[in-house]
Amino acid sequence: MITKKPFGTTEKGEQVDLFTLENSKKTAVDIITYGATVNSIYVADKNGEFADILCGFDTIEGHEKYSNYQGMTVGRYANRIAEGKFELEGTVYQTVKNEKGVTGLHGGGELSHAVWKALIVDDNCLEMTYFSPDGSMGFPGNVDFTVTFTLHEDDSLEIKYNAVSDKTTVINMTNHAYFNLAGKGDILGHELKINADCFIPTDELSIPTGEIRPVEGTAFDFRQSKPIGRDIGADDIQLKQCRGYDHNFCLNEGDGPAAVARDPESGRTMEVYTDLPGVQLYCGNFLDGTRPGKKGVPLIKHCGFCLETQYYPNTPNMPEFPQCTVKAGEKFESVTVFKFFVS
Q: What is the DSSP letter of 294?
A: G
Q: What is the pLDDT of residue 255?
A: 87
For 67-107, what is each residue's pLDDT tens digit?
999 999 999 999 999 999 999 999 999 999 999 999 999 99
Q: Which domains does the chain have, with CATH numbers?
A: 2-342 (2.70.98.10)
pTM over 0.75: yes
Q: Which residues contact 101 (CB under 8 A, 6 or more apart)?
A: none
Q: Which residues contact 112 (CB under 8 A, 6 or more apart)?
A: 35, 37, 67, 69, 72, 73, 74, 106, 176
For 155-174, what is each residue's pLDDT tens digit?
999 999 999 999 999 999 99
Confidence of residue 292 (pLDDT cuts 50, 70, 90): very high
φ and ψ of 93, to 5 deg: -110, 130
φ and ψ of 239, to 5 deg: -80, -35
Confidence of residue 216 (pLDDT cuts 50, 70, 90): very high
Active site residues: 176, 308
